[in-house]
Amino acid sequence: MTRLEADFWIDQLGKSFLTGFQWISRRDAEAPVAELAIEWAELIASALNDVRLTAPPTVDDRQPFLPFIKTHRIGTELFHVAQSGMRGGPRLDLILQIWFDTEHASGGFGVPLLMQRVPRTGAMPEPMWHELRETAQKLNVATPSGRVVLLRRGVDLSSDRPSDYDAHPVVMNSFTLASTRSPPHPVYGRRLDQTCHDLASGWIGDPALSGRESSPVFDEILGNFHVGRVLRIAIRQEGD
């Protein structure tokens, strides 16, 4: 994040997401963080609110998916879902919603997220795998957009050491995780830094989970899962 003329601005939303993960992993290394997803969501909501975004979110670091001529401003809202999971069901750490109201597009999407600490090496423990697989199977009934972030213990996300680079967190989609026949090793999936661009661009988002209008799919997830938080990020053309 850069300060310009007493105003803060960023040019890559995806990199801001990754920076949030780096801060949380560093804090977790110093003292265990109880709820990784909620800590990440609170940090992002606080850090990006009322910040100017000078370039469109990109796919794979450099490829923009929308023309983005004018400067836009970010607004954030973080919701605690008090009545989620009324019909029982597994935990779902976070639903990330992003709204776009730019000079060329108006819309939104949502991505359900689970964040799980896993061992640095070897397969994830079997009880953990059973729980995550069951959650992924139920989530797949409602949406194809679920993602599970596997954060390896003891890995510094900001480190340039080859050993830490090789142990960079990966993100599995809910379909793949639900289909596994044995506990997976946390090396199969999309790298976290790449996934952050996916999250920012909507490349993996579900419009039915955007929260912009009434959605039975969104209502179903709120009723069938214990949702920790909903983080909404609105990107609007400056002056609107």
Mean pLDDT of 46-54: 92
Q: Any bridge partners for residue 4, and if so which?
A: 7
Q: What is the mean pLDDT of the chain?
A: 86
pTM for the predicted model, two decimal places: 0.90
Q: Which long-range contacts (CB under 8 A, 24 or more apart) does 121-130 make?
A: 121/167, 122/185, 123/182, 123/183, 123/184, 123/185, 124/150, 124/183, 124/184, 124/185, 124/186, 125/183, 126/183, 128/183, 129/180, 129/182, 129/183, 129/184
DSSP structural state of residue 206: B
Task: For residue 10, give both structure tokens.
Answer: 């960023």
pLDDT, position 70 = 76
Q: Categorize the per-residue pLDDT at 55 as very low, low, confident or very high, splitting at 50, 70 and 90.
A: confident
Q: What is the pLDDT of residues 6-41, one digit of tens each?
A: 568 888 889 999 999 999 888 887 888 889 999 999
Mean pLDDT of 166-195: 88
Longest alpha-carbon distance in the chain? 55
Please, which residues have CB within 8 angstroms of residue 161's CB and are 6 or more apart in sequence?
Answer: none
CA distance 240 to 232: 18
What phi-psi label fits residue 171: left (phi over 0), alpha (psi between -120 and 50 degrees) or beta? beta
* Beta carbons of 80 and 229 less than 8 angstroms apart: yes
